[in-house]
Amino acid sequence: MSATGLEVFDRTIQTTNIWLDDLMRELGWPDRQQAFHALRVVLHTLRDRLPVNSAAHLAAQLPLMIRGLFYEGWKPTDKPAHERTRDEFLMHITDSFVFTIEADSRQIATAVFHVLSKHISAGEVEKIRHSLPEAVRSLWPVEATAGAAT
């Protein structure tokens, strides 16, 4: 029996929980809500710095629920953002992460990038990495792309 009555919703909830479990392991956090917020913050920061077509291609590989999270509040008319430095990227994460736990924005970004690399195709990971400014790209280690889904 389906928990929601729709298999597509059950499947996306299950997949989202798998992604959150992976992120919680990467960060060493026990709190799913904090992991969800970290995923949201990094995805929005990433999305806003990608060309619109690259953002859409990335979104196409995300599970339905995470895809909705990715697009939440998006205004593509003025994208990508013109920030080019790693510090600007990380500052946006720091400013957007509202939990009181000690959270290192670099650790959060890197953990989310590892989870993305695990669950989306290696080819898409490479396209996304190369769409980013070089300073931001350095947060997404090349070795993280080696285990990407195919």
User: Which tokens belong to 29?
Assistant: 């956090």
State residue 118's pLDDT score: 96
Structural domains for the chain: 7-145 (1.10.490.110)
State residue 150's pLDDT score: 44
Local confidence band at 141 (pLDDT 50, 70, 90 cut-offs)? confident
Predicted confidence (pLDDT) per residue in 67-112, tens digit: 999 999 999 988 888 888 999 999 999 998 877 667 799 999 999 9
Predicted confidence (pLDDT) per residue in 24-60, tens digit: 999 999 999 999 999 999 999 999 999 999 999 999 9
Q: What is the DSSP letter of 26?
A: H
DSSP string, 31-83: -HHHHHHHHHHHHHHHHTTS-HHHHHHHHHTS-HHHHHHHHTT--GGG-S---
- Contact assessment for residue 33 and residue 100, using Cβ atoms and an 8 Å cutoff: no
Q: How many CA atoms lie within 13 A of 54 on its CB side?
A: 19
